[in-house]
Amino acid sequence: MTSLRPRIPAPGRLGPLRRSFDFLMGCLALAAGVASGACKDHGKESAAHADQDDAFLADLVDKDVAEVERGLPEGAKKLAPLVAEGADPRQDTAAVRKALGRMRHDVMDLNIAKSTFFALADSNGVAVRNDLEEDVMAGQDLIALFPALARARDGYVATTGRFPNAVSKNGPDKDWIAGAPVRRENGTTGAIVVTGWSYRFFARHLHSTLESRLIDQAKAAGAGSKLPVYYVALFDSSGVYSAPLTPAVDEQALAGEGLAAKTAAGPVQGVLTITDREFGYAARRTPKLGADTGVVVLRSEI
């Protein structure tokens, strides 16, 4: 009759079996450790990629601002006829709008600038007319809204602030604005030409440019159209201003990082978990936009 008791290996065979078992358990533990490490480092990997993206965008910010720095003083010269021989541009706002359009077309830097408007203000900083079809700036005291713009009577200046009711679908917005003097024949300032953009509009421009860069990188790597999840925003001490379509929860998470303070000593990276997804972020200052202003990229490889 066949015994129902389990067969027990002979004493001499226990060693090899034990060693095989230990080896198997060791392999499983190693595999688990590697997998755990991969998960643990995913956020850091995303942050490292975000840092490369952020450095690229910070350079782009400098180039975009430089276009206005070079172009606006040149454009102001082309508007000189509006104040020549004591002329008052407020008497012919249609001519002002036409001159602004011609100026933007003729000055290459302004033609490619990311500005959302060009406007002429009188020497006291009161807006006369902008180049948009619907003008909501006329009559506004721009120097009261942007005090540093008073220095534009003497030369080019850039500053930040808010236009009234500066709110988008994503929340409050902020504005970057630059001005340059329009001189009369005797060298005095007869008017001020002004241009600028909102933070959220500019973040959308940066997001779109980064998208093109990521698509090119994916194609070069043979990844087709597979892209990471990513968002772009500007920040300063007043808050975070993300591009349209950025989830509010992501903007709020970045706002909680205190980026203006963290970047005071240089670029920073960090890891965030937002709605169960691990993100890495990178942020750095862009002084040409403002003393405490910068750009941040939030990215996830999953």
Contact 248, 233 (CB under 8 A): no
**Residues 53 and 90 reside in one and the same domain:** no
* Same-domain pairing of 187 and 96: yes
**CA angle, corner 131, sides to 129 and 133, nearest 5?**
95
**Residue of 75, 80, 81 whose CA lies nearest to 109:** 75
Burial per residue of 222-234, b for 16 or more beta-carbon CB atoms within 10 angstroms, e otherwise: eeeeeebebbbbb
Angstrom distance (rounded) from CA 262 to CA 259: 5
- Our count of domains for the chain comes to 2
Q: Angle at the Cα of 20 (from 16 to 24), degrees rounded to 5? A: 170
pLDDT digits 0-9 by tens, 249-278? 999 999 999 999 999 999 999 999 999 999
* pLDDT > 70 in the chain, percent: 86
For the stretch 188-203, pLDDT in tens is 999 999 999 999 999 9
Question: Does one domain contain both 264 and 295?
Answer: yes
Whether residue 190 sits in one domain with residue 69: yes
Output the pLDDT for position 9.
Answer: 45
Number of H helices, E strands in the chain: 7, 12
Token pair 């005291």 in the structure block, residue? 141
* Range(s) of the domain holding residue 96: 65-198
The predicted structure's pLDDT at residue 16: 47
Is residue 225 in some structural domain?
yes
Q: What is the CA radius of gyration of the chain?
A: 29
The three-state secondary structure class of 278 is strand
Q: What is the pLDDT of residues 167-176, one digit of tens each?
A: 777 789 999 9
83 and 191, same domain (yes or no): yes
Whose tokens are 């009559």? That residue is 139
Which helix H or strand E contains 122, and what residues bound it? Answer: strand 117-122
Residue 266 within any structural domain of the chain: yes
Please list the helix, strand and coil fractions of the chain in percent, rounded to the nearest 5, in that order.
50, 25, 25
Residues 77 and 139 in one domain: yes
138 — alpha (psi -120 to 50), left (phi > 0) or beta? beta
d(CA 290, CA 235): 10
Q: 191 in helix, strand or coil? A: strand
Do 146 and 258 lie in a common domain? no
- Whether 211 and 282 map to the same domain: the answer is yes
